[in-house]
Amino acid sequence: MVGYAFMGAAHSQAWRTAPHAFDLPLRPVLAALCGRDRAAAEAAAQRYGFGGVETDWRALLDRDDVQLIDVCTPGDSHAEISVAALEAGKHVLCEKPLANTVPEAEAMAAAAARAQARGVRSMVGFNYRRVPALALARDLIASGRVGEIRHVRASYLQDWLADPAFPLTWRLQKEHAGSGALGDLGAHVVDLAQYLTGQLISGVSGVTATFVPERPIPGGGGRSGPVTVDDAVAFTARLESGALATFEATRFASGRKNALRIEVYGARGSLAFDLERLNELEFCDNTDSAGSTGQATAGFRRILVTEPGHPYLSAWWPPGHVLGWEHTFVNQARDLLTDIAADSDTEPSFADGLQVQRVMAAVQHSAAHASAWTRI
């Protein structure tokens, strides 16, 4: 694993837990954690349960006991590490967004395609596909329960930048993060909109905002530096079928901590989801009626997605014994290891990640050109 911050902690928990929760064909071993600062890396390795550390990620490529590389670094190093790892024959799990630019993402998707021909697998870490409620949502849409889709309404609202005194971390610098709310939060909802509906976004019109242009530099003795990414973004979009979609991502929605919300409206029914209540899926079957009395009983059902037949749930706890955010990574690890063992394609692929990257680039282009409609 390369990187050991927030995502590193979450991924480690997943690798440790997956073999205890699921019957896996492969047993993951936490061989080595890689970080440039040896002392910090060793402390993290100790905490996370890794066998050892490396200070240069290239060293991982040479180790025979490393078959899979988990890329948890900021976006600016995703391409270099992932491409090298794939070429070295290592399976790769890369955090999202896939890259900071479309050309980087194209190179990664190409490398993934070449590697796939040699049986080397890659996955981009859009972990919310592994929320059981969202996997169920996709099943319901795919099986026609929602009907022809008219609307997707997606937003991802957080508030950790609402305080102007919050410091200028790497996530606020374009050279490291590529973009702000767009890549960090918007990428998730773009991926989900396409995943859930089975349709690609065909065009967008966007607007971005940076509300607080300067912030204190961490350890900067009181000096400030410029925020070079978006604080918030909003865009309208069309899906291939003509459905209308709206997206919004922000770090300034006071009181919303991790409110990834997505609603899908179709001719037969509708779905609604909120990540702050990730065990629940709201489903309205507009054809519900009260049988003999003929009275409409349609309404949004709050399905607690913890039943044995629900996606991933056979491995977890009894009904109503809810899962948390970290379980998405355990489920993701299970799918990736299962696919590697079965020598089968995994998803979301780097090609899926590239498509999301193209949508984000189109949003940025539109925002820079007076919101002009931009085709993907």
* Cβ proximity to a copy of itself, 174 vs 277, nearer residue: 277
Quick one: 105 or 136, whose CB is closer to a copy of itself? 136
> Residue 156 Cβ, how far from a copy of itself at the closest point, in Å?
11
Report the nearest approach of a copy of itself to the CB of residue 372 (Å). 6
- Non-local (6+) Cβ contacts of 361 within 8 A are 101, 102
Q: Give least dist CB 348 to a copy of itself, A.
A: 20
Question: Token digits for 136?
Answer: 């169920």
Q: Which amino acid is at 101?
A: T
Contacts for 255 with CB less than 8 Å, ≥ 6 apart: 159
Which lies closer to a copy of itself via its Cβ, residue 80 or residue 326?
A: 326
Site of tokens 């508030």 = 159
Nearest approach, Cβ of residue 333 and a copy of itself (Å): 15
Q: Judged by CB, which is closer to a copy of itself: 86, or 232?
A: 232
SS3 255: coil
- Tell me the β-bridge partners of 303: 281
Residue whose CB is less far from a copy of itself, 99 or 137 = 137
Q: What is the number of alpha carbons within 13 Å of residue 68 lying toward its C-beta?
A: 21
Would residue 219 be called left, alpha or beta, if left means φ above 0 and alpha means ψ between -120 and 50 degrees? Answer: left
Name residues whose C-beta falls within 8 Å of residue 190's C-beta, 6 or more positions apart in sequence: 154, 201, 247, 356, 359, 360
Q: Give the residue among 170, 171, 3 at the shortest CA–CA distance from 71.
A: 3
- CB of 194: closest distance to a copy of itself in angstroms? 18
Residue number, 311 or 353, with CB nearest to a copy of itself? 311
- In angstroms, how far is CA 328 from the centroid of its own chain? 10
What are the tokens at 278? 């990730």
In 3D space, the residue among 325, 360, 332, 328 whose CA is nearest the CA of residue 187 turns out to be: 360
- C-beta of 139 vs 175, nearer to a copy of itself: 139
**Minimum Å distance from CB 336 to a copy of itself?**
20
Tell whether omega for the bond before 213 is within 30 degrees of 0, i.e. cis: no
Q: Which is nearer to a copy of itself, 296 or 342 (CB)?
A: 296
In the complex, the smallest distance separating the C-beta of residue 117 from a copy of itself, rounded to whole angstroms, is 33
Residue showing tokens 């709050």: 302
Q: How far apart are CA 42 and CA 48, in angstroms?
A: 10
User: CA 270, CA 337: separation in Å to the nearest integer?
Assistant: 33
**Which residue, 252 or 350, has its beta carbon nearer to a copy of itself?**
252
The nearest distance, CB 224 to a copy of itself, in angstroms, is: 18
Nearer CB in complex with a copy of itself: 119/242:
242
Minimum CB–partner distance for residue 124 and a copy of itself (Å): 20
State the minimum distance, in angstroms, from the CB of residue 85 to a copy of itself. Answer: 25
Query: What is the residue whose two structure tokens read 């078959």?
Result: 67
Beta strands in the chain (DSSP E): 32-34, 52-54, 68-71, 91-94, 122-124, 149-157, 201-209, 214-216, 224-226, 232-239, 244-250, 259-266, 269-274, 280-285, 300-304, 374-375
Q: Are strands 122-124 and 232-239 parallel, antiparallel or unpaired?
A: unpaired
